[in-house]
Chains A and B, each alone.
Chain A
Amino acid sequence: MALDRQLEVLAVCGLGMGTSLILRMTAEDALRALGVEARVENTDVSAARGMSPDVIIGQGMHTSEIAELAPVVITISDFLDKEGLEAQLRERLTEKGWLA
């Protein structure tokens, strides 16, 4: 079903202040390139446990801990790889019917 609202995206890392901020900017660029209206926040893994976003993005060592928190969980190693993240987002959001 298509989303009739903004996509809620969470970029996670260990402290939630630096590394995930850089990931957030990469994710914002990738989502913009896909034409997806989204709100991207960054936080640490512990705080993420109290949230219920549509999409979580982070490194495998963190996403494996919170894989049940969101319908779409994306693991990436290179937080600067906009094209790689865009490709993963395109595939996963299309699967959900969230990408027109």
Chain B
Amino acid sequence: MTVLTATDGATPADWREAVRRAARGLVEAGAAGEGYPDACVRVVEENGPYIVLAKGLALVHARPEEGGLAVGVGVTRLAAPVEFGHPDNDPVDLLLAFCTPDPDSHVGTLSTLARALSAGLADRLRGASDEDALTRALEEALRDA
């Protein structure tokens, strides 16, 4: 069972705050430990803004040993986009955060998420009317995960 969370209208000052906000949803839902948000920031500091994997969309995550307690996916929609310093995909207005307790448990969920993204999930999330609609869109996309 994948833990799902949604946050709408976040107003982070910069990408670090946006990443922490996106990951905090997973902590609040009990899917990740307290250190997970900062670990997600370090992933970008150490490896570059590659987590911005499409225009305006970041996939926030860190290694399972950084505090992954369950498989979780959270969507965070920003009130105003932030710059990650990505050469092509900035600015980012939508963040999907995930966590996993081990290196394998997330594969099914992420595969389903990838299929849903290919089928236009990001635009459905952008078009959601409010936080409840964000949650429903995510639930619908990952129902079979």
A residues with a Cβ closer than 8 A to B are 13-15, 17-19, 21-23, 25-26, 29, 45, 58-62, 77-82
A18 touches B110 (CB 8 A): yes
B118 touches A29 (CB 8 A): yes
Say if the beta carbon of B124 comes within 8 Å of chain A: no
Say if the beta carbon of B53 comes within 8 Å of chain A: yes
Contact among A15, A60, A61, A79 with B53 in the assembled complex (CB-CB below 8 Å): A79
Q: Contacts A15-B61, A77-B88 given: A21-B50 contact, CB under 8 Å?
A: no
Say if the beta carbon of B47 comes within 8 Å of chain A: yes
B55 touches A18 (CB 8 A): no
Return chain B residues, CB-CB under 8 Å to A77.
86-89
B50 touches A61 (CB 8 A): yes
A25 touches B114 (CB 8 A): yes
A17 touches B103 (CB 8 A): yes
**New contact pairs (20) apart from A14-B47, A18-B59, CB-CB < 8 Å:** A14-B46, A17-B100, A18-B110, A19-B59, A21-B110, A21-B111, A22-B110, A22-B113, A22-B117, A23-B53, A25-B111, A25-B118, A29-B118, A58-B50, A59-B48, A61-B48, A77-B87, A79-B53, A80-B117, A80-B122
Return chain A residues, CB-CB under 8 Å to B86.
77
B residues with a Cβ closer than 8 A to A are 43, 46-51, 53-55, 59, 61-63, 86-89, 98, 100, 103, 106-107, 110-111, 113-115, 117-118, 122
Q: 8 closest pairs, A vs B, by CB?
A: A14-B47, A77-B88, A79-B53, A25-B114, A61-B48, A22-B114, A18-B61, A80-B54
Closest-by-CB residue of A relative to B62 is: A15
A74 to chain B, nearest CB (A): 15
* Bound: A85/B119 CA distance, A: 16
* Bound: A82/B68 CA distance, A: 30
* Bound: A81/B51 CA distance, A: 15
* Bound: A23/B66 CA distance, A: 23
Contact among A13, A19, A26, A58 with B118 in the assembled complex (CB-CB below 8 Å): A26
B118 touches A82 (CB 8 A): yes
A18 touches B87 (CB 8 A): no
B54 touches A18 (CB 8 A): no
Return chain B residues, CB-CB under 8 Å to A22.
53, 59, 110, 113-114, 117
Return chain B residues, CB-CB under 8 Å to A15.
43, 47, 61-63
